[in-house]
């Protein structure tokens, strides 16, 4: 360990600057979404079995809701542009823009070069939780997804029901292809209902029992035509461990609601990002 310089304390005491002030980000019209939602009817429903995943479609202008049913359960969510799977949820940039955990009014942004809102959170029954004394909060974009590769490194063995594998199987079924074809499309998730943070002393990623209870939900407005996949994590409420069959696991409910067409008059899906992609060449 190196000796601190004489002005170490002065350097540490410099105040931080927010990397990406969001005041100039295009703002969602939440009141328009709310009035459209009031006209919406349920048009689809998918039950995600425990330790497994399922896909769903949410057309642009529809709403989709993820609900805890039966017992506390965490879900790992992937989103793609339904017409082009190369445009997918970008958890890292979403984190840079909105912070470590998402709630109402915040958006799931897509990968480059599209980089536009894919979905906007319009309701979150866990918004009361805030940030607890450990620095934990819900619906994070800091974790990646539990996966069999990390599990193999840390514990050995072959576990096939990590969220990564669940999402891979679900997407393969949807595409009518093999897991090897589907796997490259699976990406870092929004951890729905998961309660996580970084330990203050070592900066390590932590999880704790989710505060979610049956009936709690997170609801989104689909900004573009979406293909979604949701895994009911083998960690259950993630109070103890994941990547095993020991935790109590429960299903998750995904519902899609379609508003009356006239309710979204004046609204159009966001265009792909305006950068010209010449990169100065
Ligand atoms: Zn998981």
User: What are the start-end ranges of the E strands in 95-216?
Assistant: 107-109, 117-124, 137-140, 190-198, 205-208
Q: How many domains, the chain?
A: 1
Q: How close is the Cα of 188 to the center of ligand 1, in Å? A: 11
In a domain, 161, yes or no: yes
CA of 172 from ligand 1 middle (Å) equals 18
Question: Residue 276 has what pLDDT?
Answer: 97
Spatial CB neighbours of 90, under 8 Å, sequence gap ≥ 6: 109, 110, 111, 112, 115
Kindly state whether residue 280 falls inside one of the protein's structural domains. no
- In this predicted structure, the answer to whether residue 244 has a pLDDT above a threshold of 90 is no
161 CA from centroid of ligand 1 (Å):
8
Answer yes or no: is pLDDT of 104 > 90: yes
Residue 271 lies in a domain: no
> 73 CA to middle of ligand 1, Å?
10
The reply to whether 18 falls in a domain is no
CA of 233 to the centre of ligand 1 (A): 4
Cα separation, 103 vs 30, whole angstroms: 13
Containing structural domain, residue 208: 28-260
Does some domain include residue 84? Answer: yes
Task: Give the pLDDT confidence of 180-189 residue by residue, as tens digits.
Answer: 999 999 999 9
- The answer to the question of residue 276 being in a domain is no
| 277, part of any domain | no
Q: What is the pTM of this model?
A: 0.96
213 CA to middle of ligand 1, Å?
A: 18
């Amino acid at each position: 360990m190196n000796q601190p310089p004489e002005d170490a304390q002065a350097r540490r005491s410099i105040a931080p600057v927010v990397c990406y002030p969001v005041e100039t980000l295009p703002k969602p019209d939440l009141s328009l979404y709310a009035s459209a939602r009031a006209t919406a009817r349920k048009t689809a429903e998918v039950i995600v079995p425990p330790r497994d995943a399922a896909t769903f479609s949410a057309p642009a202008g529809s709403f989709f809701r993820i609900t805890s049913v039966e017992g506390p359960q965490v879900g790992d969510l992937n989103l793609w542009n339904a017409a082009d799977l190369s445009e997918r949820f970008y958890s890292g940039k979403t984190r840079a823009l909105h912070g470590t955990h998402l709630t109402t009014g915040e958006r799931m942004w897509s990968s480059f070069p599209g980089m536009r809102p894919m979905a906007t959170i319009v309701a979150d029954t866990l918004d009361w939780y805030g940030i607890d004394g450990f620095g934990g909060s819900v619906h994070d974009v800091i974790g990646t997804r539990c996966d069999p590769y990390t599990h193999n490194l840390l514990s050995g063995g072959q576990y096939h029901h990590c969220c990564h594998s669940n999402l891979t199987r679900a997407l393969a079924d949807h595409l009518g292809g093999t897991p090897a074809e589907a796997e490259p499309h699976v990406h870092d998730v929004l951890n729905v209902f998961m309660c996580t943070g970084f330990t203050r002393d070592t900066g390590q990623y932590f999880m704790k029992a989710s505060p979610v209870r049956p009936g709690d939900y997170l609801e989104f407005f689909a900004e573009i035509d979406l293909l979604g996949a949701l895994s009911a994590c083998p960690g259950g409420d993630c109070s103890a461990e994941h990547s095993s069959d020991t935790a109590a696991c429960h299903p998750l409910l995904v519902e899609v609601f379609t508003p009356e067409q006239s309710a979204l008059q004046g609204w159009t899906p966001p265009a792909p990002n305006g950068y010209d992609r010449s990169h100065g060449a």
